[in-house]
Amino acid sequence: MKHLRVNSRLFKFVQLAVKSLLQHKLRAALSILGVVCGVAAVFSMLSVGEGAKRESLAQIERLGTRNIYVKAVPLTEMQQAKFRANLSRGLSLTDAHRIQKGCPDVQDAAGLRELKASVFSTMKEVTPLIAACTPNYATLMKIPIGSGRFISDPDMQESKLVCVIGHGVAGSMGALGRIGNYLRIEDSLFKIVGVLQRLESKVGKSGAIRLRNYNDMIFVPLAVANLASSTGTPYGALADPEVTELIIAVNDEKQVLRAVPAVKRIMEIAHGGAEDYQIIVPQELLNQSKKIQRTFNVVLGSIAFISLIVGGIGIMNIMLATVSERTKEIGIRRAFGATCTDIILQFLAESTLLTFTGGIIGILIGFGGVWLISAIAKWNTTVTMLALVVPLLTSIVVGLFFGLYPAYTAAKMDPIAALRSE
């Protein structure tokens, strides 16, 4: 019962605050500008930051936190000559075998080579990316098969002319894009043995690794890479095919960082110190990205803090003016029985209501800003509960904190002196 009364009293003070703020609408509106801007800034920065964070995490996770990438570095002719002298023959599937043999944490390794080739079919719109890969590539990259199968071990061993096509490629080929039909790449006919499931096409770059859009890809066995390539030797299959990328899967996420030095050592020895490859660890990228995020948060936090302090000082200024302007009112209220606490509550309610309204307006403007950012700059933005609650709570705290001194000044006035003031 007592609790109820306190609440209804607080409600009355809020009512009172609404009334007196409405008597000076323009002044109230101007005084909360600082808080509005601060809250809008904090809200949109939090939302943009969260969007960026999620995007980068999603990209890195698509690379697989269990994987280590070894990527061939495109070389100039001079570098090539120098590295040949070091007995390095570039990145090949043999490197994968060496790593698998030499490092017990490694579970599996896949190789992939991007090919430059022309595809002859009735395809419109899509220009497919052709990749020659080992059969385990789909497993390691978690590529879901829609119908048929992925490249198999026999395909690889027997250098079969088969291919697996992405959903987009199949769609643009129409009836020809079904399993059992043939596709001409350069001078050879490849039999379609599988079609991939449609995937959310998120293309992008994460660190040095390109995220491929599987919808627009054609996969062929790595063993027949040369037949499907416009640059390779025109005939025959290779025993040790050259790759542009090795994907090394470690048994467990936790062992990745332990496996990295071993992989590095093996590659160093195998390539005779030639730096014609690059090792990329998604987990390291992940940690890096988290670190960047943390720095971003600190910077963001301080900007928010400063802007809200500036807003709060504006509120304090206006509240001090209000208090001295309403000295007479304070005297009258005191004469009719308002205690010091009542006066404090009255002015705190006003300042807090001001900043809270500022907070709400700031959030609304922030929503607009976030919408604009994602519409114009095409950035990913995510509005979280945190982005809503933090600025709103801070606006309330700012109102309480910066309203306290003016309210205290009001309460400490001598009632008689206040009454006599004009």
Positions touching another protein (CB under 8 A) are: 9, 12-13, 16, 19-20, 23, 328-329, 331-342, 415-416, 419
Beta bridge pairs of residue 114: 131
CB nearer to another protein: give 22 or 385. Answer: 22
CB of 52 to another protein, least distance (A): 49
Q: How far apart are CA 282 and CA 290, in angstroms?
A: 12
Dihedral pair phi/psi, residue 379, rounded to 5°: -85, 150
At closest approach, how far in Å is the CB of 24 from another protein?
10
CB of 398 to another protein, least distance (A): 26
CA 386, 389, 395, 401 torsion-angle sign: negative
Q: Which two tokens stand for residue 282?
A: 């998604």
Q: Which residues, other chains included, contact 74 with Cβ-Cβ below 8 Å and sequence gap of 6+?
A: none
Instruction: Check if the beta carbon of residue 10 is closer than 8 Å to that of residue 342.
Output: no
Of the pair 308, 348, the CB lying nearest another protein is at 348
On whether the CB atoms of residues 125 and 138 are closer than 8 A, the answer is no
3-state SS assignment for residue 295: helix
**Which lies closer to another protein via its Cβ, residue 8 or residue 233?**
8
Q: In this complex, which beta carbon is closest to another protein, that of residue 160 or of residue 334?
A: 334
> From the CB of 328, what's the least distance to another protein, in Å?
8
Buried b (16+ CB within 10 A) or exposed e, 360-376: bbbbebbbebbeebbee
Q: How far is the CB of 396 from another protein (least distance, A)?
A: 23
Closest CA to 246 of 113, 74, 59: 113
Query: How far apart (Å, rounded) are the C-alpha atoms in residues 56 and 48?
Result: 12
Indicate the residue among 158 and 329 with the shorter CB distance to another protein.
Answer: 329
Is 19 or 294 the residue whose CB approaches another protein more closely?
Answer: 19
Q: 9 or 264: whose CB is closer to another protein?
A: 9
Mode of pairing for the β-strands spanning 277-280 and 245-250: unpaired
Contact 88, 274 (CB under 8 A): yes
Query: Which C-beta is closer to another protein: that of 102 or that of 415?
Result: 415
User: How far apart are CB 28 and another protein at their closest, in Å?
Assistant: 14
Q: Quick check: 250 and 67 in contact, CB under 8 A? A: yes
Instruction: Please report, for residues 33, 191, 308, 352, the alpha-carbon distance to residue 396 in angstroms, rounded to integers and kept in the order given.
Output: 15, 67, 11, 6
Give the nearest distance from C-beta 418 to another protein in angstroms: 10
β-strand partners of 185: 119, 188
Least Cβ distance, residue 407 to another protein (angstroms): 16
d(C-alpha 344, C-alpha 403), whole Å: 9
Residue 258 CA to residue 293 CA, distance in Å, equals 25
Query: For residues 269 and 271, what is the distance between their CA atoms, to the nearest angstrom?
Result: 6
Q: How far is the CB of 39 from another protein (least distance, A)?
A: 29
Joined together, the tokens standing for residue 177 give 């894009």
In the complex, least distance from residue 316 CB atom to another protein, rounded to whole angstroms: 22
Q: What is the Rg, in whole angstroms, of the alpha carbon atoms belonging to the chain? A: 33
Q: What is the DSSP string of 58-75?
A: HHHHHH-TTEEEEEEPP-
In whole angstroms, give the CA distance from residue 404 to residue 199: 56
Q: Tell me the closest approach of the beta carbon of residue 3 to another protein, in angstroms.
A: 15
Q: Between residues 313 and 416, which has the closer beta carbon with respect to another protein?
A: 416
Q: Given the complex with another protein, which of 375 and 416 has the nearer CB atom?
A: 416
Closer CB to another protein, 141 or 413, in the complex:
413
